[in-house]
């Protein structure tokens, strides 16, 4: 599969980034199932996870159509780590509820703005998928925003925990707005989104919510890592892929 991926065109790579973000995040949220702080929240987190898996499946199917030789499951389950193009933020582990919600909030704001812009894409499939997912993500962002308020302005302990998680995850935010050749090409073609415009909107929204939540917007990171959107991942990625790919790797000939 590796050779084909090297020759992959910009559209396919662009789509895989969208799908992989939701795929890895959806799986992270799935890992939390049965571990929530109370039953309603446990179900809500799995529900958001399911939306992400649904979006990733739809986009993988589209990439499979564009490619014509592989299935959506091949993309989801049968790639090497460096062939997944999700941003690093979504692979960050479920350290505790504060990390889960901080990760979710930072990503939800990004994804909402991204999809909102993608609705106008000249690629009809992407535009339609964006429109459909936007309804779900509108609910996601409302939920994670509420949690920023509750945790930020809840108790001293919750304030401390959510602030700590935001500080820790802040170093992963720049990647969301980093534009490489694929992003530039897609934007020029009227298919992709201008991430510079997104960045300003994202900062405004995040600042607004964190301020209202009595939280401090963290200092800008001094160090930017190599980016997941080009296949460079954190130490955490290998382990979740090992789990995800377990049955497909161990029984390559089996159908499930």
Enumerate binding residues for another protein (CB under 8 A).
27, 30-31, 33-43, 46-47, 49-50, 53-54, 56-57, 60, 72-73, 76-77, 96-97, 149-151, 153-155, 157-158, 161, 240, 243-244, 246-248, 251, 253-256
Give the nearest distance from C-beta 60 to another protein in angstroms: 7
3-class SS at 71? Answer: coil
32: left (phi over 0), alpha (psi -120 to 50) or beta: alpha
3-class SS at 8? Answer: coil
3-class SS at 49? Answer: helix
Nearer to another protein, 19 or 115 (CB): 19
Nearer to another protein, 98 or 141 (CB): 98
Give the nearest distance from C-beta 204 to another protein in angstroms: 24
Number of C-alpha atoms within 13 angstroms, CB side, residue 128?
A: 6
Phi, psi of 24 (to 5 degrees): -70, -40
Task: Confirm if 10 and 182 have CB atoms less than 8 A apart.
Answer: yes
Nearer to another protein, 31 or 184 (CB): 31
Among residues 48, 8, 58, which one has the least CA distance to residue 231? Answer: 8
Return the number of other C-beta atoms located less than 10 Å from residue 114's C-beta: 22
One-character DSSP codes across 142-187: HHHHHHHHHHHTS-HHHHHHHHHHHHHHGGGSGGGG---HHHHHHH
Give the nearest distance from C-beta 109 to another protein in angstroms: 20
Give the nearest distance from C-beta 27 to another protein in angstroms: 6
Nearer to another protein, 157 or 204 (CB): 157
Give the nearest distance from C-beta 28 to another protein in angstroms: 9
Nearer to another protein, 80 or 242 (CB): 242
Number of C-alpha atoms within 13 angstroms, CB side, residue 103?
A: 23
Give the nearest distance from C-beta 40 to another protein in angstroms: 7
């Amino acid at each position: 599969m590796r050779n084909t991926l090297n020759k992959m065109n910009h559209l396919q790579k662009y789509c895989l980034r969208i799908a992989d973000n939701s795929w890895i995040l959806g799986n992270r949220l799935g890992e939390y199932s049965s571990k929530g702080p109370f039953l309603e929240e446990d179900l809500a987190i799995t529900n958001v996870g399911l939306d992400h898996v649904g979006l990733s499946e739809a986009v993988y199917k589209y990439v499979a159509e564009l490619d014509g030789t592989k299935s959506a499951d091949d993309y989801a389950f049968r790639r090497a780590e460096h062939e997944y193009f999700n941003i690093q933020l979504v692979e960050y582990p479920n350290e505790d509820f504060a990390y889960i919600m901080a990760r979710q909030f930072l990503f939800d704001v990004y994804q909402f703005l991204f999809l909102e812009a993608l609705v106008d894409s000249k690629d009809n499939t992407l535009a339609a998928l964006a429109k459909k997912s936007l309804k779900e993500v509108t609910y996601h962002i409302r939920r994670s925003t509420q949690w920023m308020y509750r945790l930020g302005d809840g108790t001293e302990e919750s304030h401390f925990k959510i602030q700590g998680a935001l500080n820790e995850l802040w170093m992963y935010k720049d990647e969301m707005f980093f534009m490489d050749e694929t992003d530039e090409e897609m934007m020029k073609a009227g298919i992709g989104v201008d991430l510079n415009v997104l960045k300003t909107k994202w900062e405004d929204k995040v600042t607004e919510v964190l301020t209202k939540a009595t939280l401090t917007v963290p200092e800008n990171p001094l160090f930017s890592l190599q980016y997941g959107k080009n296949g460079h991942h954190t130490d955490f990625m290998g382990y979740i892929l090992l789990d995800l790919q377990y049955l497909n790797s161990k029984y390559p000939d089996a159908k499930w």
